[in-house]
């Protein structure tokens, strides 16, 4: 899978949380961040490999089975078809947008804003996108995702992120 986010949205952390949740269910997963000289707002790529067997390859993914897009505006500047081997895209969008054979959408921005998940004025949509992705792609149960969150957050921040995951998990929709 390929995660396309903007610096500050939490794409790298999202890939790690998903990998942890998948591992909790007994499968293998590997989150691979791609770092460059990105600043807040620049497009950031993260990769996620999932397998029933041990994963030996540790590198970027040229063509992904699914692409997770953290901002609908990314679609204006990135041709995701160049990265998509599969047929599934998950988009953070307040309205349905069909960009692949199977497209899912969730309003992760609104969820983050409503819960106060904001840093330096930017909504941090990563955990909402984790919840939506886990459900849409049937990667992990809600319980496993919530357990994985505890590896990354604690206290009130954990509670807010748990709420974001639950809301997105329950509200992600497939575009028909």
102 and 116 in contact (C-beta within 8 Å)? no
CA distance to 2, 6, 57, 88, 130, per residue, from 41 (Å) = 18, 5, 29, 25, 19
pLDDT at 39: 64
Class of the 2-174 domain?
alpha beta
For the chain, percent helix, then strand, then coil, each to nearest 5?
Answer: 35, 25, 35
pLDDT at 26: 96
Q: Please list the pLDDT of the chain residue by residue as tens digits (176 residues).
A: 999 999 888 999 999 999 999 999 999 999 998 866 556 678 899 999 999 999 988 777 789 999 999 999 999 999 999 999 989 999 999 999 999 999 999 999 999 999 999 998 889 999 999 999 999 999 999 999 999 999 999 999 999 999 999 999 999 999 99
Domain limits, the chain = 2-174
129 and 68 in contact (C-beta within 8 Å)? yes
pLDDT at 37: 59
């Amino acid at each position: 899978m390929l995660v396309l986010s903007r610096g500050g949205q939490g794409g790298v952390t999202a890939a790690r949380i998903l990998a942890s949740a998948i591992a909790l269910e007994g499968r293998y997963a590997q989150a691979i961040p791609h770092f460059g000289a990105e600043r807040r707002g620049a497009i950031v790529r993260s990769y996620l490999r999932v397998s029933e067997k041990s994963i030996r390859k540790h590198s970027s993914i040229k063509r992904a089975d699914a692409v997770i897009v953290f901002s609908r505006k990314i679609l204006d500047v990135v041709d995701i078809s160049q990265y998509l081997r599969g047929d599934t895209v998950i988009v953070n969008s307040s309205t349905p947008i069909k960009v692949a054979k199977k497209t899912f959408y969730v309003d992760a921005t609104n969820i983050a804003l409503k819960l106060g998940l904001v840093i330096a004025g930017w909504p941090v949509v990563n955990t909402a996108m984790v919840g939506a992705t886990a459900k849409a792609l049937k990667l992990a149960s809600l319980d496993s995702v919530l357990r994985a969150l505890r590896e990354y957050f604690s206290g009130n921040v954990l509670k807010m992120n748990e709420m974001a995951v639950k809301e997105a998990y329950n509200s992600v929709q497939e575009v028909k």
